[in-house]
Structure 1
Amino acid sequence: MSIHKVSGNKLTKVLQTQQSLRPGQIVQGKILKIFPENKAQIQLGGQKMIARLEAALSIGSTYHFQVQSSDEMIYLKVLSEYIKTQSTLSLYPLMNELNVKPNKTNSAFIQALVQGNIPFDKSQLKEALQILEQSKDKGTAKQTLIEMIGRRLPITDNVFQAVSIKNSSQFSSQMNELLKQLKATNNQTELLTRLEQMVARPTNVSASLTNQLNVQNEQNKQQIFHVVKGLGMLHQQIDFKGWVSEWQQVGQALKENEQNVRLPFSLNATEAVQVMEQLRSNQYGLLNQSQQFMQAWKSTLNQPVLAQHEFMLMKEQLNQHILPLLPVEQAKFIRGLSNNQVQLSSMMNLLESLHNPSTYKEIDALLKVVHFDKLFLSKAPNEQFMLQLQQVLTYTGLDYEQQIVQKSPDQQSLKAMLLQLIQQSDGIVQEKAGQLLHFINGMQLNSINESESMIQASLQIPAEKLGLINDMELEFESRKTEDGKVNPDYCRILFYLDLNELRQTIIDMHIQKRSVTVTIYNDIQELKRQTVQLLPVLKQGLEALDYKLTSVDFKPLQELERPAKKTTGKAYSSYQGVDYRI
């Protein structure tokens, strides 16, 4: 997992590596002591090992070794000696051994691996140098590839793109870039809705309704217009062009932050939502009955005026089969239907919309946005955070590949829809979709790290909806229970926030035997005094969850203590055993 380190006011990620050797890897080791019987103490990274010498080596010297294995013994083959005073030149024998061209870029890359005590093998190095050679920004590419090797990720272009984009951008910015292109090209309503749910600030019912209708209008989707007009909620002389124009004006007023905007055509937002909800609840009945009605009457309704007996028969069938499925007030309007071309045409458009399945998809998309924003705004800040966290975990598609293995992939996840969009589009839309897909892949690679006893997780949450400037980042570490699950009695959570007023803030929460200690890192000196009145609320909230608050400390950002590196292996003070042969 990536652990953050504060340097001034800038957060940089420090890679945790573990010294775990595999055949074929190249490592750097230093000879610390020479013992009798051709034994020596060597240091590999943070580990000290005892090795049996089968080659002439000098005490105090540093060498490059290639890991080899035979049965249960690990052999280290000497490739070259590393001379600190002539660091670049000393790499040439190693590069020659590995068949690597000894140029400046290659030397700097291998130098960084060696100095970072990061084991690597020949194939990893070859693939990494190929990617590095093709990269425009050599410095950034070098750091990304070093991270990939250190974390034992596959050295492929796709993984490189995923890690690179994840490290250099934010989730919300990637989604907003794609959202902008989708709106500009009238593309992918479901994906567009999903993105807006995750990044757009929540709005009231009127604003949500306006925004969603403008999206559908821009895509020339007229189903809801015909439904609203056919139900008598609009003047019968209004056409689709006039409908679009009025909603655009309301949308523009919202963009200019005007308060209390009124909906066009004297529409009531609450009433409009209720009408859509009833149509959706009666969807299957309306589909069936309107289809039968249109089959019987479509050719007749194309006439300017019906014969009186036909008109009366048609109204009787409407009253029997269609009106019971409509909202009461709108049913009253149709009961008063007149035998003229304008009203007959409007009714025909209504019934054509009601027997079209895509109409209900548009209604469903509209209601999803309206209901989610309404629910979100009704919640307290902590509940809003949990809703947003649930959105990310549920809809991003972080477990999409696992779902495919289980043969139950969620096609409504962000990742599934992006894969489909990339196949069906080109140009800037395909490019932005690809970048967001790479970012999600990067999140997947960085999300979970497990060992036998510990589990670590990292997650980035779009936080503009929560009122934050940038994305929120979470780092989580926990012991495992006996059945391999997270142990809520022993864990640590770090929150990385960028707040409007408090700016950069890091909250470090430790839990030991359900006792909670909190350290808040922030450079505002008055923060402790200003927040002391909130401590009883925090204490009560934790007690309600069966946790005990033991302390809350405030420190400047530069005092953030990063978790200690973990290494494997043992440190030996004697030379009784032999771990390696050289």
Structure 2
Amino acid sequence: MNMNPLSISSVKVASADSQPLTLREGQMIHGKVQQLFPGQMAQVQVGNQQLYAKLEVPMQAGDTYYFKVNGTEPEIQLQVIAGPMRGSEGLTGQLAQLTESLNLPKTAEMKELLAAVIKQKFPMTKENLLDAANLLKNVPDGMKEQALATLGKMANMRLPFTPAVFQSLMQAQTGTITQSLTSLQSALQTEQNLAPAIREQILNALQALANPASQSVGKELLGQTITQLLNPQTSKGDRFAALQLLKTAGILPAQTSLANLPQAVAQLMTQSSDAKAPAPQQPQIATNQAAGSLVASGKVNGSVRVQVDGTAPSTSSSAATQTDQRVNMDSQAATLKAVQALLSKLSQTPAAEQQTAKTIIQNLAQQINTNPILPESAKVALQTVINQISQQPVMNDSVKAAFIEQFSQTFLQQVSGLSSVNSVAPRDVQQALMALVSIPPDQADETLRMLIQNAERSGNTQLKQLVQTAEMQVSQAMNGPVMKEAIQSVLSTLGFNYEALLNGKEPNLANLANTLKPQLLTLLQDPSLSPPLREAAETMVLRMNGTIIQTAETSVQQQLIMQVPLELFGKKIDATLQWNGRMKENGQIDPAFARILFYLELEALSTTLVDMHVQNKVVNLTIFNEQESLRTTGLTFQTMLKDGLEQVGYKLSGVSFKPFTETPQSVKKPVGSLYTDEGGVDYRI
């Protein structure tokens, strides 16, 4: 065996990919001599990249070799460890060469591993080979092919060859995440040695996963419940039931009654803005640009903070004129919050400040009349209330209090009633409504979940009907925002990024503790768990870890993989998403270029693969599915897709439909075979 070194004194990379070839000392790589040049120079192809190297041993163009990286500084030093390898030698000869040259054990596992290395050409060191062979020992025969593919992924991603990483990646490719969750739920329900409180907590998380659109349904239900409560045409019994529902969900104070409802609503409408009002004698004068920045920076989880800039109340007429004129209007929802902010400021204005109060009311009328959300009927109702107080010669405390109560109740009723019978209220209206009734963003999920549960358990048939109506409206209006909210809800409930959030700034420990992953990690510390439950919990944790491990980032490329179980109104979807994109020079994701794969298991359409290319904001879709009717059905939505993409700055190039059987190789699940160093997507169909 020729073990002489191959010195690369000067390296030039010729590749369509601008990334330099990354080699590690001790790594074994496969290379092919493409072309010989004078002066003992040769073009050697390694993967999809080409090196120009100076040879110190004779080689022949067309031959392939295995090299060991002996060094990378100050120049790359490669040592021939096996070769030349020609097709005539066959796999057996190549296996013998590698085994002998690397002094590897001649076990069945090592033979299988080396055969995979030769076939797939993934980079390995001798230590990697030894560790990988040990990992293969405990793998059942029926899973060897999958295990070898996993080891190849670990090599390509430069992951440590440890049992934890190996098992996590294996679980991420075994079955579906829905099957893992079903097994976990079944094991929990039959476990004898589990405290009832722990069982209920984990089952609650699983129930939340089964209703990922509950937040959208809850927002619709919130609007309908408030509308029922504030509608004078509704029966007293139904209004009382709506009141009790809002109280048990913590949205209205416990002491609220139908008798003191106007006062409670007025307090609710003004209290959230009070805390944000500027302190006296601290004027906050800002330019329009700065005001816009305040609104932009105030967006947290979909809510919008609105700040009213101006001087503190003063006896000066000019100062009063400036009060509350600077209201941020960067979004439609912000204008609704601006009304609340003005109402709050009016409640704080002393009775002696008549001109200031009148200015605030004038601004209220202007906000209502220019509001793009409110329909004309709502503007008329609110303007009527404003006209009544404008006719008062003196605005004393009792007159002002009565106006705030009446205006607050009318305003809240009109906003909550923006959801029509056949459609879902706009997302910004829903967010504004939640802000108006002082539901903090970090408590929204729990509050809305409690609202739905209490309505379903209520003995009032009207409340149950409201839940059904809300579910029907959300299911019929299933769109991008609703789906996005559902996916975010699932990922949050699973606790995929639990460790990252725990390590972040001021983590919300209470919310994190309610997610599934930390609950399972705590559960696994219990030595009394039965083997079935321990196995189900470990499988679920490993699956979540495997998904995270496959997310990779380099200086210019980024890969993100997610497995999401979705159950929407009785329809189950197992979705695996892989996103590959590149980073801009400032470290941000470049939205103009991406490759996205959606691997879907659908009840009606079965296995479906959507391959989405984004090149300079031009989108091309290829959809793989065995049902021929999908082409006809899918094309009817093409105009809608085109319009939707154009609204967000993208152009649709085309949509094509293909069967999986178009080429002889079978489809591979994205999480099992899609990683490449170059950031591309290497799937087989």
* TM-score, with length taken from structure 2: 0.53
Give the number of the structure with larger relative contact order, counting CA–CA contacts within 8 Å between residues 6 or more apart.
1
Question: Shift of residue 418 of structure 1?
Answer: 1.2
Matched position secondary structure for 1:423 = coil
Contact 1:506–1:521 under 8 Å retained in 2: yes
Matched position secondary structure for 1:507 = strand
Structure 1 residues not aligned, in runs of 5+:
1-16, 205-267, 284-362, 569-582
- 2-side partners of 1:200 and 1:544: how far apart? 30
Closer, same or farther in 2 for the Cα pair 1:535/1:412, shift >3 Å? same
Tell me which residue corresponds to 2:525.
Answer: 423
Tell me which residue corresponds to 2:484.
Answer: 386
Q: Deviations over 1:255-276 (max 9, x none)?
A: xxxxxxxxxxxxx997985574
Closer, same or farther in 2 for the Cα pair 1:19/1:487, shift >3 Å? closer
Q: Deviations over 1:102-143 (max 9, x none)?
A: 133312211211221211112211111111112223333222
The residue type paired with residue 145 of structure 1 is L
Matched, 1:459 2:562: yes
Between 1:165-174 and 1:129-138, the stretch displaced more is 129-138
Tell me which residue corresponds to 2:41.
Answer: 39
Tell me which residue corresponds to 1:450.
Answer: 553
Tell me which residue corresponds to 1:400.
Answer: 498
95, 101, 106: which one pairs with 2:99? 95
Contact 1:193–1:369 under 8 Å retained in 2: no
Q: Deviations over 1:39-72 (max 9, x none)?
A: 3333323333222223344554332211011532
The residue type paired with residue 432 of structure 1 is A
Tell me which residue corresponds to 1:505.
Answer: 608
- 2-side partners of 1:43 and 1:477: how far apart? 25
Tell me which residue corresponds to 1:51.
Answer: 53
Matched position secondary structure for 2:137 = helix
Closer, same or farther in 2 for the Cα pair 1:486/1:58, shift >3 Å? closer
Contact 1:165–1:438 under 8 Å retained in 2: yes
Contact 1:172–1:199 under 8 Å retained in 2: no
82, 107, 127: which one pairs with 1:123? 127
- 1-side partners of 2:49 and 2:139: how far apart? 34
Closer, same or farther in 2 for the Cα pair 1:172/1:377, shift >3 Å? farther
The residue type paired with residue 445 of structure 1 is I
Closer, same or farther in 2 for the Cα pair 1:414/1:118, shift >3 Å? same
The residue type paired with residue 157 of structure 1 is P
Question: Shift of residue 566 of structure 1?
Answer: 6.5
The residue type paired with residue 537 of structure 2 is A
Question: Shift of residue 525 of structure 1?
Answer: 2.9
Matched, 1:434 2:538: yes
Matched position secondary structure for 2:640 = helix
Matched, 1:156 2:128: no
- 2-side partners of 1:476 and 1:388: how far apart? 19
Closer, same or farther in 2 for the Cα pair 1:566/1:123, shift >3 Å? closer
- 2-side partners of 1:69 and 1:494: how far apart? 38
Tell me which residue corresponds to 1:253.
Answer: none
Contact 1:494–1:507 under 8 Å retained in 2: yes
- 1-side partners of 2:241 and 2:54: how far apart? 82
- 1-side partners of 2:455 and 2:65: how far apart? 61
Closer, same or farther in 2 for the Cα pair 1:422/1:499, shift >3 Å? same
Q: Deviations over 1:520-541 (max 9, x none)?
A: 3333333343344434433443
Question: Shift of residue 433 of structure 1?
Answer: 0.8
- 2-side partners of 1:365 and 1:551: how far apart? 40
Closer, same or farther in 2 for the Cα pair 1:146/1:91, shift >3 Å? same
- 1-side partners of 2:661 and 2:455: how far apart? 39
Contact 2:597–2:609 under 8 Å retained in 1: yes
Question: Shift of residue 94 of structure 1?
Answer: 2.7
Q: How does 1:279-290 map to 2 (within 5 A)?
A: 282=254
The aligned length equals 411
Matched position secondary structure for 1:463 = strand
468, 472, 475: which one pairs with 2:578? 475
Question: Shift of residue 436 of structure 1?
Answer: 0.2
Question: Shift of residue 420 of structure 1?
Answer: 0.7
Structure 2 residues not aligned, in runs of 5+:
1-18, 216-239, 256-445, 457-466, 679-685
The residue type paired with residue 175 of structure 1 is L
Tell me which residue corresponds to 1:193.
Answer: 204
- 1-side partners of 2:560 and 2:107: how far apart? 39
- 1-side partners of 2:636 and 2:575: how far apart? 25
Between 1:463-472 and 1:363-372, the stretch displaced more is 363-372
The residue type paired with residue 46 of structure 1 is N
Contact 2:208–2:493 under 8 Å retained in 1: no
The residue type paired with residue 543 of structure 2 is F
Closer, same or farther in 2 for the Cα pair 1:467/1:67, shift >3 Å? farther
Q: Deviations over 1:333-353 (max 9, x none)?
A: xxxxxxxxxxxxxxxxxxxxx
Matched, 1:495 2:598: yes
Contact 2:23–2:72 under 8 Å retained in 1: no
The residue type paired with residue 123 of structure 2 is P
Tell me which residue corresponds to 1:304.
Answer: none
Contact 1:19–1:119 under 8 Å retained in 2: no
Question: Shift of residue 369 of structure 1?
Answer: 6.4
Q: Deviations over 1:264-306 (max 9, x none)?
A: xxxx9979855743699659xxxxxxxxxxxxxxxxxxxxxxx
Closer, same or farther in 2 for the Cα pair 1:70/1:532, shift >3 Å? closer
Contact 1:18–1:566 under 8 Å retained in 2: no
Tell me which residue corresponds to 1:486.
Answer: 589
- 2-side partners of 1:421 and 1:445: how far apart? 22
Contact 2:598–2:609 under 8 Å retained in 1: yes
132, 138, 152: which one pairs with 1:134? 138
Tell me which residue corresponds to 1:525.
Answer: 628
* TM-score, with length taken from structure 1: 0.61
Tell me which residue corresponds to 1:64.
Answer: 66
Matched position secondary structure for 1:417 = helix
Matched position secondary structure for 2:98 = helix
Closer, same or farther in 2 for the Cα pair 1:133/1:514, shift >3 Å? closer
Q: Deviations over 1:217-255 (max 9, x none)?
A: xxxxxxxxxxxxxxxxxxxxxxxxxxxxxxxxxxxxxxx
Tell me which residue corresponds to 2:219.
Answer: none
Tell me which residue corresponds to 2:515.
Answer: 413
The residue type paired with residue 199 of structure 2 is Q
Matched position secondary structure for 1:43 = strand
Tell me which residue corresponds to 1:551.
Answer: 654
The residue type paired with residue 507 of structure 1 is V
Contact 2:150–2:166 under 8 Å retained in 1: yes
Tell me which residue corresponds to 1:180.
Answer: 186
